[in-house]
């Protein structure tokens, strides 16, 4: 399980910075990386770090190699994979269209997006996209077939 031991040379200032970043860095992944390197610097082997932290042994080795290749700055570098959907390139035009004339339902939004872009998405994905545009989804209800128009007129006049 241990494999080849990775040797790291850490100065006291590196250790101090790792301690600080381990608790105060805004990115939780960077905090985990710093903790891994710090435990290794304290003399713990990969298997023991795995037992204490629950991190996968391969992940621990990746963290140690990151530090070995670029120091603390390498631990702080993050480039998370965030794929962009096909609708993103139409985001502005769809947003303008929906702000001018908001869709009444998600199904209507889905159809209008299809007409504008030729891209069809599920109702759920369209709802997520519409929310990301900053628009709110409204629940609509139909008027009952037996609605009393006279009572509605009276209510509107009073209020």
Does one domain contain both 17 and 55? yes
Torsion over CA of 26, 30, 31 and 37, rounded to 10 degrees?
-160
Clarify whether residues 46 and 97 are in a common domain.
no
Q: Based on C-alpha coordinates, what's the Rg of the chain?
A: 28
pLDDT single digits (tens) 6-57:
888 888 999 999 999 999 999 999 999 999 999 999 999 999 999 999 999 9
Q: Has residue 155 been placed in a domain?
A: no
Task: State whether 32 and 60 are in the same domain.
Answer: yes
* Three-class DSSP labels, 116-133: HHCCCCCHHHHHHHHHHC
Is 35 a member of any domain? Answer: yes
Structure token digits, residue 52: 């204490």
Whether 61 has a pLDDT exceeding 90, the answer reads yes
pTM above 0.85, yes or no: no
CA 9 from chain centre, in angstroms, equals: 35
- 22 and 63 housed in the same domain: yes
Q: How far is residue 12 CA from its own chain's centroid? A: 35
Domain boundary among 55, 76, 97: 76
Residue 72: domain span: 12-76
């Amino acid at each position: 399980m241990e494999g080849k031991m990775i040797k790291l040379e850490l100065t006291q200032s590196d250790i101090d910075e790792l301690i600080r970043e381990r608790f105060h860095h805004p990115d939780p992944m960077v905090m985990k990386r710093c903790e891994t390197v710090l435990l290794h610097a304290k003399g713990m082997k990969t298997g023991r770090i795995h037992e204490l932290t629950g991190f996968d042994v391969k992940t621990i080795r990746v963290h140690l190699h990151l530090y070995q290749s670029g120091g603390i700055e390498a631990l702080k570098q993050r480039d998370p994979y965030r794929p962009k959907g096909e609708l993103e390139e139409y985001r502005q035009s769809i947003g303008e269209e929906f702000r001018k004339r908001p869709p009444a339902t998600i199904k209507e939004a889905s159809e209008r997006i299809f007409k504008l872009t030729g891209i069809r998405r599920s109702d759920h994905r369209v709802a997520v996209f519409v929310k990301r545009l900053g628009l709110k989804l409204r629940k609509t209800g139909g008027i009952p077939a037996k609605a009393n128009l006279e009572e509605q007129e009276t209510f509107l006049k009073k209020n």
